[in-house]
Amino acid sequence: MYNDIKLEKGLYNLSGKSFTAALEELDPSSNYCGTPLEKLDAYERQLKRFNIRISGSDCDRVEKFFTSTESAVLFPEFVTRSIKKGFDEAILTSVCAAKTVCGCGQYIGCVLDDSADYTSSAEAETLPAATVRESSSATVLAKYGRLISASYEAIRQQRLDVFGVMLRSIGVKLAASVTKKAVEVLIADASRVSTSVLTYEDLANLYGEFDCFNMNALIVSPEAASKIVAMEELSDTCANESGRIVLPFGAELIKTSAADDSTIIGIDKDFALEFITSSDLVMETDKLIDRQLDQITVSITCGFRKITPDAVKVLEITG
């Protein structure tokens, strides 16, 4: 049972396994089906074991993690999850169709050549071919990170929910720097249309450029976003469950400083982009466990690759 698990630093250093994955091997969630704990993962069960409340009106403070040497082992995972939540919400759920974990600094994916017309074929006639081949070039992964400096004395009395929000904001900003590369990949060699002044009609025309795929996301700069939401045609526009604006033809408006003011990027986010990473967020767990928080680094090594070129269209504003 989860109460009997021996928590130690070494659980963070098992090759090819995250801390939660290591815990799941020791305490499988499948053992809790039909019990009050079935909705908790192995890490969350450890929080329950040590009565650490990370949210709600009776939320604990950071120092609660350090009431014992075993409970202190849980703190790096709290930090990682908080930052990762901000990062994933900004990147993976917004613009990426797939995530690939690559064991090295370069990744060679597959390329689909599907340019032949989809037409009917007579009996015994050879069908039009779609070819999948290895890419002729590799995607080189780059490292993005942040140095976090905060003494234990400065944060020990901080509520965990508030501290978690601070960490999540670091994840959001880290994702913003990574998104610049995603935008570069999306607009490279993309099909383009142009206009001198951005109007709602231009957005509708961009939507019409999509054939088999659907423009379900629009990536724009903050300035372009402000112009779009001020359009008269969008006066009755509503936000979706995540609080993002959805245009009348179904495209989610994604505002990011990674896009420039003269470029509007329409994508089918279910087909356009692959997120490639050599690992999840990397952090100096030993320092966190030992309360040596003065110089903590968090980083991720990642890159992007366009999967389906037809799922990306670009509107250029020339005026």
CB 281 within 8 A of CB 12: no
The single residue listed with the structure tokens 């245009």 is 247
Q: Max Cα separation, the chain?
A: 78
Task: Give the predicted TM-score (pTM) of the model.
Answer: 0.84
The reported pLDDT for the residue numbered 185 is 96
CB 54 within 8 A of CB 161: yes
The single residue listed with the structure tokens 């004395």 is 153
The reported pLDDT for the residue numbered 121 is 81
Domains of the chain: 181-274+306-317 (3.30.2320.10)
- Give per-10-residue mean pLDDT for the chain (319 aa): 92 86 94 94 96 95 96 95 90 85 90 85 84 92 92 94 96 91 95 95 95 94 94 81 83 92 96 91 89 88 94 94
Measured CA distances, 36 to 33, 52, 59, 139 (Å): 8, 17, 21, 45
Measured CA distances, 39 to 45, 160, 199, 275 (Å): 10, 21, 47, 28
The reported pLDDT for the residue numbered 62 is 97
CB 259 within 8 A of CB 221: yes
Q: How far apart are CA 319 and CA 310, in angstroms?
A: 26
Structure tokens at 96: 């990426």
Q: How far apart are CA 194 and CA 218, in angstroms?
A: 15
Structure tokens at 105: 């600094």
The reported pLDDT for the residue numbered 52 is 98
Would you give the end-to-end CA distance of the chain in angstroms? 66
